[in-house]
Structure 1
Amino acid sequence: MKKITNWKLWAKCAGIRAVKTVAQTAISVIGVSAVLSDVNWVAVASASVLSGVLSLLTSVAGLPEISEE
């Protein structure tokens, strides 16, 4: 695991990645409902938040968007 030296860049890249992951999870959970009125919004929110947290934790191991200088 490489050492993080630029925290602002890491936070920006990790945040962007987490937001994309949250959006993808929300879309997939919403997509399993037959109609929009059947969407379990609590499940959408909890699954999306959990995926965002996991994305941030995974980003600690390294981000390919940040090249070594």
Structure 2
Amino acid sequence: MRERDEVLEKLRSKYFERISRGEGSAHDSLVLGFGEYIEEVYAAYEQHKLETLSFKKHVSYHGTTRKLQP
């Protein structure tokens, strides 16, 4: 859960940086930028979900619960 929150916070920061730089018109930045933001958030969530499921399968297959090395 904490990792997902960190990913979402990074995406929020990236989104608001784009708005503050004024990419496109104000309307484009808010409307189109928000759509892109939602797509990125959803993609990050799906990636996190896949990595979590993959790790759980690995742990159950190998019968280990040791921590991963950074």
- The structure whose RCO (Cα within 8 Å, separation 6+) is larger is 1
Higher helix share: 2
Which of these residues, 38, 55, 59, is aligned with residue 49 of structure 1?
38
Deviates more, 1:20-29 or 1:46-55: 20-29
CA-atom RMSD in angstroms: 2.9
Greater Rg by CA: 2
Runs (5+) with no aligned partner, structure 2: 53-65
TM-score relative to the length of structure 2: 0.50
Pairs within 5 Å for 1:7-18: 12-18=1-7
Structure 1 runs (4+) greater than 3 angstroms displaced = none
Aligned length: 52
Change in 2 beyond 3 A, CA 1:25/1:32: same
- TM-score w.r.t. structure 1 length? 0.50
